Amino acid sequence: MESEGGRRRVVVIGGGIAGSLLAKTIQFDADLTLIDPKEYLELTWANLRNMVEPSFADRSVINHRDYLTNGHIVKSAAINITDTDVLTADGCHIVYEYLVLATGHTDPVPITKVERLYQYDAENQKIQSAQSILIVGGGPSGVELAGEIASAFPGKKVTLVHKGPRLLEFIGTKASDKSLGWLRSRKVKVKLEQAVDLSSTSVGSQVYRTSTGESIKADCHLICVAKPLATAWLSETILKTNLDKNGRLMVDEYLRIKGRSNIFTIGDITDIPELKQGYLAHRHALVVAKNLKLLMEEKKAK
């Protein structure tokens, strides 16, 4: 089955790094539809920089229509998948011949670019008005944000609390040691093997308590912990048996969902054992773009 003009119907769910790049790459080779609740692509590796330099956000938050000039955009959330179409929250049934899931992580961000830029301004004002800042989480985001604030506002007191035994646990000990040394050289206080009870702080209070009973005084706090995968909705769809115990979709060597010949998945929601970062999502998108073109030309995937 082909659409008007003889091009195959391809639907991409998710307008993050992976989904947007894939859509951009194949927009002139298919009858393409991108489904995303928000109207923009966000370059996620710039998010933390945007908080300390909001003017930077205008370059890293890009409306989908600015790069997708030859495809359909549906600004809604996908809520169900059948063997032939995708159902969205606003009641649309979108037919597909090939489907790509790229939903990434759950992140309740604003729908419009204007609102997102306003949010970065508000976060920047929060940081600027605080003399002391608590960062919760010592993974890549927490370490980077602490570094950004310490560099942009060297006079502020920054405390980073991490529940693990070392920073950047999923990267390696060398990176952990270097990051810890660098942060401490910028006078960032790093507290390991502790958790912060945010509920213990009453309205107007500036004292946070940790799991070891320690008190931390801070004007505000910023949470940098892992966000849940945006795959829970799939448990009620035809792909419910394709989710592993961690909520990731199991894929074959072509990034197709196992057992499905026309459904792919890319980015953070794949079960590939790798560090989930933007440059790998970028590579996933390029691989699937090539394979989709081959399949649409009835050639062998690779």
Structural domains of the chain, ranges and CATH numbers in brackets: 9-38+75-107+227-301 (3.50.50.60), 130-223 (3.50.50.60)
CA 148 to chain centre: 19
Instruction: Classify residue 168 by burial, with Cβ atoms within 10 Å: 0-12, 13-18, 19+.
Output: buried
Q: Mind listing the pLDDT tens digit for each residue in 58-115?
A: 999 999 999 999 999 999 999 999 999 999 999 999 999 999 999 999 988 999 999 9
> Is the pLDDT at 302 greater than 50, yes or no?
yes
What pLDDT band is residue 5 in, cutting at 50, 70 and 90? low
Give the integer Cα–Cα distance in Å for 67 and 107: 22
What is the mean pLDDT of the segment spanning 157-178? 94
> Is the pLDDT at 32 greater than 50, yes or no?
yes
Report the predicted TM-score, pTM, of the whole model to 2 decimal places.
0.91
What is the mean pLDDT of the segment spanning 229-253? 97
**Does residue 249 contact residue 234 with C-beta atoms inside 8 Å?**
yes
DSSP designation for 96: -
* Percent of the chain clearing pLDDT 90 (strictly above): 87
What pLDDT band is residue 1 in, cutting at 50, 70 and 90? very low
What pLDDT band is residue 172 in, cutting at 50, 70 and 90? confident
Note the pLDDT of residue 4.
53
What pLDDT band is residue 259 in, cutting at 50, 70 and 90? very high
Q: Mind listing the pLDDT tens digit for each residue in 139-159?
A: 999 999 999 999 999 999 999
Instruction: Classify residue 45 by burial, with Cβ atoms within 10 Å: 0-12, 13-18, 19+.
Output: middle
Note the pLDDT of residue 3.
58
Give the integer Cα–Cα distance in Å for 264 and 22: 11
> Is the pLDDT at 203 greater than 60, yes or no?
no
**Does residue 120 contact residue 54 with C-beta atoms inside 8 Å?**
yes
What is the mean pLDDT of the segment spanning 13-17? 97
Which range, of 47-56, 84-93, 157-166, 196-205, averages the lowest pLDDT? 196-205
| Neighbour order of strands in the sheet with 215-217 | 196-197, 207-210, 215-217
What is the mean pLDDT of the segment spanning 282-299? 94
